[in-house]
Amino acid sequence: MKVVFHVDELPKWSEAMKNIHNAKAGCPNLQIVLLVNGAAITGFLDEQYQDFLREPGVEFHACHNALKAFKIPEEQLPEPVTVVPAGVLDLIKLQHLGYAYIKP
């Protein structure tokens, strides 16, 4: 099974983290992507989320458009984060590939 969690508001990071932990506990082989765009993009720089970014079994995608809008250079992102050209297109692609969509 595959799932993409979509976070576009900074306060939703905590809820997404809980959802991901619960999903992994119930299905250890679940393929998980956390796609972040909009105002939530600043969460990648927030110290309180750095441990979560090392979570095994989770891919982290950052929207290039959001990075540009919030003036965050790609070089500032932590190591595990992959920049995608547009968050909305990434969502379309992932859903086309069979990923379930969850927006906390």
Domains observed in the chain: 2-102 (3.40.1260.10)
Question: Distance between CA 60 and CA 37 in Å, rounded?
Answer: 11
Residue 89 and residue 64 in contact, taking contact as beta carbons nearer than 8 Å: no
pLDDT at residue 56, as a whole number: 92
Predicted TM-score (pTM) above 0.85: yes
How confident is the model at residue 96, as a pLDDT? 98
Give the list of residues 6+ apart from residue 88 with CB closer than 8 angstroms, or none: 37
Give the pLDDT confidence score for residue 19 in this predicted structure: 98
> Which residues are bridge partners to 84 per DSSP?
63
Q: How high does pLDDT run on average in the chain?
A: 97
pLDDT in tens, 31-51: 999 999 999 999 999 999 999
Note the pLDDT of residue 83: 99
Q: Is 22 helix (H, G, I), strand (E, B) or coil?
A: helix
- The C-alpha atoms of residue 87 and residue 77 are separated, in whole angstroms, by 16
